[in-house]
A and B are shown apart, each in its own frame.
Chain A
Amino acid sequence: MNEPTLNSLYQQLILEHYRKPRNRAELPEHTVEIHMYNPVCGDEIRLQLRVDGDRIAEAKFIGQGCSISQAAVSMMTVKLEGATLAEADDLANQFVNLMHGDEAAARDRSLGDLRALQGVSKFPVRIKCALLGFDALQEALKQSRLEAPAH
């Protein structure tokens, strides 16, 4: 009776991103780098962005952890390339909504592959896994804005 929920959690797309993460590489030209670590479970993500003006020109990460945390950050970086900082903000907010079970967010096609993670909202203890990459993103956006005038 629980298979449906489990299947909704472990969608093929998630496992595919876990096995073949997109943008999992060093980005030597990054303008901002954020290291997020969850001491409770040991999941780790180092997110690197190259921000050019108000756009994210490139997004890469290095990380290790569970399928949810790693797939989420992989999917996130796909959406980030070419996005403006404001769009990246919106993406993060909408993803947080998705994790809180928001139905409109679940229908929002602009989330792309990230929509596959909606099943995580039914596993409260795993939500923090999915959010690890977005926590890094939000911190990166904050820093990029602070540093912006200097550029």
Chain B
Amino acid sequence: MPAEIEVFDLPFLRAQFPALDQEINGHPLVYLDNAATAQKPWKVLDAVAQFYERDNANVHRGIHELSRRATEEFEDARARIASFMNASEPAEIIWTRGTTEAINLVAGTWALDNVGEGDEILISTMEHHSNIVPWQLVAERTGAKVRYIEMDDQGRLLLDQLSDVLGERTKIVSLAHISNALGTVNPIAEITRRVHDVGALMMIDGAQAGPHRPVDVQELGCDFYAISGHKMCGPTGIGVLWARRELLEEMSPYQGGGEMIRIVERDGSTWAEVPHKFEAGTPNIAGAVGMAAAADFLEEVGFDEIAEHERTVVRYAVEQLSQVPGLRIYGPDSLDERSGVISFTLGDAHPHDISTILDSEGVAVRAGHHCAQLVMRHFGVAATARASFYLYNTTDEVDRLVEALDTVRGIFGA
């Protein structure tokens, strides 16, 4: 154990997360699958429970007291997330099921309306499938072409080749702020400037950034930014698309249904105001309330403190893992260029076998392609094991991971 700088009261923090306090296969749980989804603190669990226990009703249009309360909490949550992302106003926050739906919304509305035959959509080989497939669907329907920014051997975008793939045919660029498969942190503000120089729009997949760092959409200067509630300690099934109001105003609706209309007539309808135009049907009200509580929670802990703590744990993890014989870490060498994701392989032990063995010692990691098959192909592997860290992880847990990897080496003779 290194001398750890206590940036915050870890035992107290961990006690906020009931799911962390359990044994798995006879060992205290070490939860290192945070890039897939984070555990939930009491603050979020209580907010969701209280909504259902006291205030549950459908939102908008209702006259009765519960409906008023539900609407107020739902719209307060929108305002809370607007300030969380530093949007200019709450109306720029569109509730979605998560990052996936947010990207599909932009692909299915703005892109289908504005991208045509011969146009180009630029993404990268680092992307999560949810930031690849929606664009391929647009390309299929419009005759546009999906182009890729490639990566180097450390899993960093080859930005010196950006001008080869970014040009006047490019209509939209969509990139991960942080890679879920490698942990690479992309210089997204700089890329956004270059994208705007050619007159294209910039969408950022913030699924892995929102949980770890303050997102300031105005400072980034992008056009669309997506986050998922569940990766930032909030509930599943809720997320956000942020876009500038002017864009939202001119965009076509996403799905049709209740809530998103102004007047419905036999021959057509008119749309509700932004943001409701994009929110057909009964929304995930409790989810929104829970996501707002998660934003409160993270800001109360403090993003600076979270970042400092995560850096300590990740630095220690990289040091320790680098000493495990046969272990290879993928992604950037420099800690400044990576977040809390460590993707690795160990000798000829398949990542699934690694994960099963770690699980038998209570250590939860993910194994597979991490919804990033192009990343796996880039590194010539079918799968990796991935340990991903969050604010409640400790250096002791890193030790537990390394010990469990010894068991893997024992079995596989690596």
Q: Is A150 an interface residue (CB 8 A)?
A: no
Q: B350 to A6, Cβ gap below 8 A?
A: no
Q: Which chain A residues lie closer than 8 Å to B348 at the CB level?
A: 19
- Besides the known contacts A6-B411, A66-B353, A67-B349, 7 further A-B residue pairs in the complex with CB atoms under 8 A apart: A2-B360, A2-B361, A6-B357, A42-B382, A44-B382, A65-B382, A68-B352
Q: B411 to A15, Cβ gap below 8 A?
A: yes
Q: How does the 8 Å CB contact mask read for A98-125 relative to B, with 1 for contact and 0 for none?
A: 0000000000000000000000000101
Q: Which chain A residues lie closer than 8 Å to B16 at the CB level?
A: none
Q: A42 to B383, Cβ gap below 8 A?
A: yes
B353 in complex: contacting residue of A1, A2, A68, CB < 8 Å: A68
Q: How far is the CA of A5 from the CA of B26 in the complex (A)?
A: 12
Q: Which of B200-223 contact A (CB under 8 A)?
A: none
Instruction: Please tell me the size bucket of the interface on B.
Output: 20 to 34
Q: A15 to B412, Cβ gap below 8 A?
A: yes
Q: B352 to A126, Cβ gap below 8 A?
A: yes
Q: How far is the CA of A125 from the CA of B361 in the complex (A)?
A: 16
Q: B352 to A1, Cβ gap below 8 A?
A: no
Q: Is A41 an interface residue (CB 8 A)?
A: yes
Q: A41 to B368, Cβ gap below 8 A?
A: yes
Q: How does the 8 Å CB contact mask read for A26-53 relative to B, with 1 for contact and 0 for none?
A: 0000000000000011111000000000
Q: How far is the CA of A66 from the CA of B357 in the complex (A)?
A: 12
Pick the 10 closest A-B CB pairs, nearest first. Answer: A66-B350, A66-B352, A2-B360, A42-B382, A1-B26, A10-B411, A6-B360, A2-B25, A67-B353, A42-B369
A42 in complex: contacting residue of B360, B376, B407, B411, CB < 8 Å: B376
Q: Which chain B residues lie closer than 8 Å to A2 at the CB level?
A: 25-27, 360-361
Closest approach, in angstroms, between the C-beta of B352 and any C-beta of chain A? 4
Q: Which chain A residues lie closer than 8 Å to B369 at the CB level?
A: 42
29 example contacts (A-B, Cβ-Cβ < 8 A) are as follows: A2-B25, A2-B27, A5-B360, A6-B357, A6-B407, A6-B411, A10-B353, A10-B357, A10-B411, A15-B411, A15-B412, A42-B368, A42-B373, A42-B376, A42-B382, A42-B383, A43-B352, A44-B382, A65-B350, A65-B382, A66-B350, A66-B352, A67-B349, A67-B353, A67-B412, A68-B353, A126-B352, A126-B356, A129-B352
Q: Is B227 an interface residue (CB 8 A)?
A: no
Q: Is B367 an interface residue (CB 8 A)?
A: yes
Q: How far is the CA of A2 from the CA of B407 in the complex (A)?
A: 12
Closest approach, in angstroms, between the C-beta of A18 and any C-beta of chain B? 8
Q: How far is the CA of A10 from the CA of B350 in the complex (A)?
A: 12
A41 in complex: contacting residue of B25, B26, B27, B367, CB < 8 Å: B367
Q: How far is the CA of A80 from the CA of B353 in the complex (A)?
A: 26
Q: Is A59 an interface residue (CB 8 A)?
A: no
Q: How far is the CA of A15 from the CA of B413 in the complex (A)?
A: 10
Q: How does the 8 Å CB contact mask read for B321-364 relative to A, with 1 for contact and 0 for none?
A: 00000000000000000000000000011111100110011000
Q: Is A9 an interface residue (CB 8 A)?
A: yes
Q: Which chain B residues lie closer than 8 Å to A65 at the CB level?
A: 350, 352, 382
Q: Is A64 an interface residue (CB 8 A)?
A: yes
Q: How far is the CA of A2 from the CA of B358 in the complex (A)?
A: 11
Q: How does the 8 Å CB contact mask read for A78-91 relative to B, with 1 for contact and 0 for none?
A: 00000000000000
Closest approach, in angstroms, between the C-beta of A6 and any C-beta of chain B? 5
Q: Which chain B residues lie closer than 8 Å to A43 at the CB level?
A: 352, 382
Closest approach, in angstroms, between the C-beta of B406 and any C-beta of chain A? 13
Q: Which of B1-40 contact A (CB under 8 A)?
A: 25-27
Q: How far is the CA of A2 from the CA of B368 in the complex (A)?
A: 24
Q: How far is the CA of A6 from the CA of B413 in the complex (A)?
A: 15
Q: B368 to A40, Cβ gap below 8 A?
A: yes
